[in-house]
Structure 1
Amino acid sequence: MDPVIIVGAGPVGLTLALALARQDVPSVLLDEGPGKDEQRLARTVVLREDTAALLTRLTGTPLDEAGLRWTGWRSMRRKQVTREVRFAEDVSGGAPGGVSGRGPAGAPGEAPGRVSARTADAAASGRAGTGAGRTAAGADAGDTHVAPLHIAQHVLTDALRAAVSGERLVKVAVESRLDGIEQEASGVTAHTRGPKGTWWRGSYLVGCDGPRSTVRKLQDIRFPGRTAVERHAVAALRTELPRPGEALLHRSPPWRTTGPSGGEVTARPLADGVWRLDWLLPPGKDLVTPELLVTRIRETLAGWSGGSTPPYELLDTGVHTVHHRLARRWRAGRVFLAGDAAHLLGALGTQGLDEGLRDADNLAWKLALAWHHGPHEALLDSYQTERRAIVAARLRAADQALPVLRGGGGLRSYVRGPGRGHDALLEGGHLGRGPLGAPGTYAESPLTPPHAESETTVDTRPGAAVTDVRVTAEDGSFVRLRDRFGRGALLVVLIAPGTGVWERKHWVSAGIMPRLAAAVTALPGPAELLVAEGYPGAAAHTVLLIRPDGHLVTALSGVRPAELYAAAEATLGRRATPETEEEAGTG
């Protein structure tokens, strides 16, 4: 079987190559550059909990040491109303501790696990503001949240390249620019030009080659959308701010009165005392001169530091332009699109790289199954259906919110529920919550199995990413559930309280375990049986079926071999037949 050809060696292409290699699928990575990135501290990425965990798993590198997780998040409005989220310091376990709130003058917060929003007057009189007791995204105060990870893009890419260099199943061809693709029933052929120009033969081809994707153009796929939805002046500098390690969103600060969006500034900390500051620019194409940027830096630092500009070292600058575009098709036969080649987004705090990494995670296990076991067209088609729907919903949410957020109008007719305030919606985009930021679910996926009689509910909805819990593997070791993702196998998790205190040999042959083990062995694809003492919202003897990318397929009450088999069939893009049901032990 020929390798998968991946065009583009940015974070998404490198991630896809590593994800395929973890599932024993070889790939050729076509890199039109020299194989290394320019070091730019003004070019950074923000990774949510799920994408940071994916990259850590693939690279074997603790990315928290290379980047920085915010210890808190403040959102300030014109009248200096402050909403603050305090994140737990220890986020490695996936379940942060409490959060606390402070008023703008450092007033004590309320009970742990709550976030308070106070005006200066309310704080002085001891009365909570309208947002008291809510999280930054307007969710219930008891919700937990792991701080996003902020990291320079070249540091992230270097970590991915280092992992790829040690992977025998990945071949990297530098200075290889794609200029031709030919498809037939048995595979795809790509031609590259440059010093090492040649023909490459592959089983599939994935375009991860960015906004100006050659793959997309060669396949004549339209890329409609909007240009320059937002523009930001960017500066990376080393300085000391009053709240070290805390990110800040300041909307219309008092030192700038040029309009509703003229002064919005975001500050995100990096390692080693470095900060990235972004200023939202007014509409138009006015040049950002060095003098203008220095003025903004000085007035912003002075505003945050009480009147005088603290010493700072300017390290890098740039202008970040946000476009919103969505490719009409993400699949053309054996050719796929992922990342910026398929979509562009980023207004209101949304992070395009997050979605690109989720593209790679979604596509990798489907290509791996097709590579090892023959193509299942419904399974391959589901990549476009699932991922495009989520990105389209994110773009719609941003496009609906932009006019009212930037124009100063109310949101009640646009966004329902407690998260409809301006600050709450913007914070959701930056923190990974709400319609702008929360990871999407595959609830409407064509891979969703039919309803089963024994189907039960847990705290995770079908199609959503599962909660990371400790599980017992088949060899008796204790591991994190998240560590078993991305291996090309369906995961079957039995919830069995008490198993964590006994050695596996004492319960592996008792009760319902033998019957469940037999049912897992009979599933139509690779599967792994795991046991957990508990799972949020799950009763004892609940059986969870989880996709290789960590999304819940279904939860069943007890061991139901036929229903488990039917759910697995649907997940793999197949339909159950009377013959397969008999094979599962129900004939």
Structure 2
Amino acid sequence: MTVAVLGSGPVGQTAALLLARWGVPVVLVDEHVRRDPVGSKAICHQRDTLDVWAALGAGCLAEEGLTWTTARTFHRGRELFSYRLPDAGSALPPFVNLSQARVEEVLDGLIADQPLIDVRRGHRVTGLTQPGCVEIDCETADGPRRIEADYALACTGAHGDAVRRAVGERLDGVSFADLFLICDIRADLAGWAAERRFHFDPPWNPGRQVLIHPCPGSQFRIDWQVPDAYDLAAEETGGALGRRIRAIIGDRPYEVVWRSVYRFHTRLVRRMRAGRVLLAGDCAHLFAPFGARGLNGGVADAENAAWKLAHVLRGLALDGLLDSYHAERHAAAVENAEVTTATMDFLVPRDEQGRRYREDVLTRAAGDPAVHALVDSGRLAEPFWYADSPLTTPDPLRPAAGRPPRGALPPPGPGVLLPDVTVPGGRLRDLARRGFLLLTTPGVASAGLRSVGIPVGGTLGACPGEAWLVRPDAYVAAVLSEPSPADVGRALRRASGDAAG
């Protein structure tokens, strides 16, 4: 009963720790002998990602990260508007900024203390086969090695071509023409520490965009959109990079901590399950980073995969439950691709009509608050709702209403992540992550499941006589009115992957 987790970036680390938390032995495979701690890389971590890490014992990440609550948007140097992120009644902040290197360091510490995780560094995956199990071929400094496991979760990132080829998949989609220059700088910028700043067409980067994120330790991450022919080395040699930075921060001391140039992509695999292999994170999908949907979406992949693999391996569900991993997380990837593609089309219009539309929106937004919603600098990462999942029992009294406006939360109901509610026994999300949980209003029996009493009304808006079935990833699987034990059993079987319910 072993799962091989391929790749030990934050998504693979999270998956390994979640599986071990369920009691599943893990072989964690990575091609790198040691970590590269340089550069901020993925920095923007959403509340529900922090919640998963806190459940694993990494609550310090929310505490160490720099919390930002305000997003400001500018056009040609003039502020158009700002908005505050909703607090959602949670003890966790809506977003924190913290370098990927620090996240990896903390998660590595937890992995080192977990006896169920066997870490194999310096193992480059070259291929795999599935002869009734998963056989993973690796190249190491000591020659070829083969690892066998019951299932594999591939978190090998954008460059995980060997795994994708082995299961007949590839990342299909588009690459954007413009490049983006990213610099981490250290400087004293008073008043900028709790704000994300987005500039459309600033005078110091005409015709393109700049994004500024605060980070701990008086560091700031600056992203410039630059032309395809941009030459970082030439700009550094000629002093243009320094002038570029000073145009933003003024004549004050600063230090360049890290810099790099990226091209952004929107690419997806067709299937996130291929037999005994599940694909997760950047191995399965690539998004432009505006909105921070890459790493945050990958952690959601990891939690979705982990509880399902654990339930199958422990005999609590049939193998068909794993089909719902693709159904749910591929739908999430498609939505993330649509959201980030729309953002890139606004940032970098494809034609003259798009350019005229963007200019019209930005011009009108300066004086008309009704236009602010049309300004697209990236809809921030949020959980995907599984209203259409085969695991979800629909409730005619709570039909799925689609995505709420930017910054708003949907009402609780089937397919929605449980609000971060505290009850006498603790936080409901923590209780749910121990296995299926039934929330019961007064007078409703538990039907033999672990149960917690909830009041009528309250944060969930529960009605008298209702029972709420919650999945092990804290999503609501069903809301049942005056349920019999048979009703609860059918919803539980459906949420466990039994299509017959």
TM category, shorter = 0.7 to 0.9
Distance in 2, matches of 1:419 and 1:192, equals: 56
SS in 2 for 1:201: strand
Distance 1:411 1:539, change over 3 A: farther
Q: 1:251 aligns with which of 193, 197, 200?
A: 200
Please say which of residues 418-427 and 438-447 is displaced more in the overlay.
Answer: 418-427
The answer to whether 1:461 aligns with 2:422 is: no
Alignment pair present for 1:535 and 2:459? yes
Q: How many angstroms does 1:54 deviate by?
A: 0.8
Task: Kindly state the Cα deviation for residue 14 of structure 1 after the two structures are TM-superposed.
Answer: 0.7
User: Which of residues 359, 363, 384 in structure 1 aligns to 2:301?
Assistant: 359
Pick from 70, 73, 79: which aligns with 1:72? Answer: 70
Cα distance in 1 for partners of 2:372, 2:123 equals 46
Instruction: Please state whether the residue corresponding to 1:276 is helix, strand or coil.
Output: strand
Instruction: Give the Å deviation of 1:411.
Output: 7.3
Q: Structure 2: how far apart are the matches of 1:397 and 1:287?
A: 30
Contact 2:395 2:478 survives alignment (8 Å): no
Find out whether 1:471 has 2:417 as its counterpart.
Answer: no
Q: Are residues 177 and 375 of structure 1, via their aligned partners in 2, closer, same or farther at CA, if it must alter by over 3 Å?
A: farther
> 1:419 and 1:38 mapped to 2: Cα distance?
45
Of 429, 435, 441 in structure 2, the residue corresponding to residue 482 of structure 1 is 429
TM-score by length of 2: 0.86
Aligned partners of 2:436 and 2:320: how far apart in 1?
17
Letter in 1 for 2:141: P
The answer as to whether partners of 2:75 and 2:201 remain within 8 angstroms in 1 is: yes
Whether contact under 8 Å (2:19, 2:306) holds in the other structure is: yes
Once residues 122 and 460 of structure 2 are traced to their aligned partners in structure 1, the CA distance between those partners, rounded to angstroms, is 49
User: Residues of 2 paired with 1:230 and 1:483: CA distance?
Assistant: 43
Task: Give the equivalent residue in structure 2 for 1:333.
Answer: 275
How many angstroms does 1:374 deviate by?
6.6
Partner residue in 2 for 1:238: 186
SS of the residue corresponding to residue 164 of structure 2 reads helix
Letter in 1 for 2:120: A
- Aligned residue for 1:389? 331
Given candidates 476, 488, 494, the residue that maps to 1:564 is 488
CA contact (8 A) 1:495 1:535 kept: no
Q: What SS class does the counterpart of residue 272 from structure 1 fall into?
A: coil
The answer to whether structure 1 residue 324 and structure 2 residue 266 are counterparts is yes
Could you list the structure 1 runs, at least 4 aligned residues long, displaced by more than 6 angstroms after superposition: 452-458
Equivalent residues in 2 for 1:27-46, closer than 5 Å? 27-34=26-33, 36-46=34-44
Unaligned regions of 5+ residues in structure 1, if any? 97-145, 303-308, 473-477, 497-510, 522-527, 578-587
Change (3 A) 1:222 1:79: closer
Tell me how far apart the structure 2 counterparts of residues 228 and 454 of structure 1 sit (CA, whole Å).
39
- 1:46-86 deviations in Å (ceiling 9; x for gaps): 11111111112213332123221114221112261341234
- Point out where structure 2 has 5 or more consecutive residues left out of the alignment: 350-354, 362-367, 402-409
Whether the aligned pair in 2 keeps the contact of 1:459 and 1:538 (CA below 8 Å) is no
SS in 2 for 1:43: coil
- Aligned residue number for residue 376 of structure 2: 426
Q: 2:173 corresponds to which letter in structure 1?
A: G
Q: Distance in 2 between matches of 1:200 and 1:151?
A: 34
Please tell me whether the aligned partners of residues 411 and 422 of structure 1 are also in contact (alpha carbons under 8 angstroms).
Answer: no
Distance (Å, rounded) in 2 between the aligned partners of 1:425 and 1:338: 31
CA contact (8 A) 1:376 1:573 kept: yes
> Residue 241 of structure 2 aligns with which residue?
293
- Alpha-carbon distance change, 287 to 19 in structure 1, aligned in 2, over 3 angstroms: same
Residue in structure 2 matching 1:159, options 102, 106, 126:
106
8 A Cα contact 1:59 1:159, kept in partner: no
What amino acid is aligned across from residue 270 of structure 1 in structure 2? C
**1:31–1:173 contact (8 Å) kept in structure 2:** yes
Q: Is the 1:33–1:174 contact (alpha carbons within 8 Å) kept by the matching residues of 2?
A: yes
Q: CA deviation at 1:557?
A: 2.6
TM-score (norm 1): 0.74
Whole-Å separation in 2 of the counterparts to 1:223 and 1:558: 47
Secondary structure of residue in 1 paired with 2:461: coil
Residues 259-284 of structure 1 show CA distances to partners (whole Å, capped at 9, x for unaligned) of: 2x2xx2111111111111111123x2
Name the amino acid aligned to 1:281.
Answer: V
* CA shift in 2, pair 1:423/1:535, >3 Å: closer
Cα distance, 1:242 vs structure 2: 4.0
Checking the alignment, whether the CA contact within 8 Å between 1:401 and 1:411 is kept in structure 2 is no
User: Max radius of gyration: which structure?
Assistant: 1
Task: For 2:64, give the aligned amino acid.
Answer: A
Report sequence identity in percent. Answer: 31
SS of corresponding position for 2:179: strand
1:272 to 207, 210, 217: 217
- The one-letter amino acid paired with 2:210 is V
Task: Report how far residue 210 of structure 1 moved.
Answer: 0.9
**SS where residue 230 of structure 2 aligns?**
coil
Q: Give the whole-Å Cα distance in 2 for the aligned partners of 1:220 and 1:320.
A: 27
- 1:49-68 matches, within 5 Å, as 49-68=47-66
Residues 518-560 of structure 1: per-residue CA shift (max 9 Å, x gap):
x134xxxxxx212234333223443111111111112123343
In 2: Cα distance, 1:363 partner to 1:83 partner: 39
**Contact 2:340 2:378 (8 Å CA) reproduced:** no
Q: Which residue identity is paired with 1:45?
A: I
The one-letter code of the counterpart of 1:17 is A
Q: Distance in 1 between matches of 2:109 and 2:88?
A: 23
The 1:28–1:230 alpha-carbon spacing in structure 2 relative to 1, beyond 3 Å, is farther
CA distance in 1, matches of 2:95, 2:397: 39
8 Å contact kept, 1:492–1:520: no
Cα 1:313–1:470, aligned 2, differ >3 Å: closer, same or farther? same
Q: Give 3-state SS (helix, strand or coil) of 1:410's partner.
A: helix
Superposition pairs of residues 92-491 of structure 1, within 5 angstroms: 94=90, 146-185=93-132, 187-195=133-141, 197-213=144-160, 214-228=162-176, 230-245=178-193, 246-257=195-206, 259=207, 261=208, 264-282=209-227, 284-288=228-232, 289-290=235-236, 291-302=239-250, 309-373=251-315, 376-407=318-349, 408-410=355-357, 421=371, 425-429=375-379, 432=380, 437-449=381-393, 459-472=411-424, 478-487=425-434, 489-491=435-437
Which stretch shifts more, 48-57 or 286-295?
A: 286-295
Q: Contact between 2:432 and 2:470, CA under 8 Å: does it hold in 1?
A: no
Q: Counterpart of 2:130 in 1: which secondary structure?
A: strand
Structure 1 counterpart of 2:448: 520
What is the CA RMSD across the aligned residues, in angstroms?
A: 2.9
**Which residue number corresponds to residue 352 of structure 2?**
none
Query: One-letter code of the match for 1:32?
Result: E
Q: How many residues align?
A: 473
- Quote the Cα distance in structure 1 between the aligned partners of 2:95 and 2:494: 34
**8 Å contact from structure 2 (residues 40, 101) kept in 1:** no
Distance 2:400 2:77 in 1: 48
Q: Is the 8 A contact 2:288 2:344 kept in 1?
A: no
CA–CA distance in 2 between the matches of 1:397 and 1:454? 25
Q: Any conservation in 2 of the 1:66–1:155 contact (CA below 8 Å)?
A: no
Deviation at 1:390, TM superposition (A): 1.5
Counterparts in 2 of 1:61 and 1:531: CA distance versus 1, 3 Å:
same
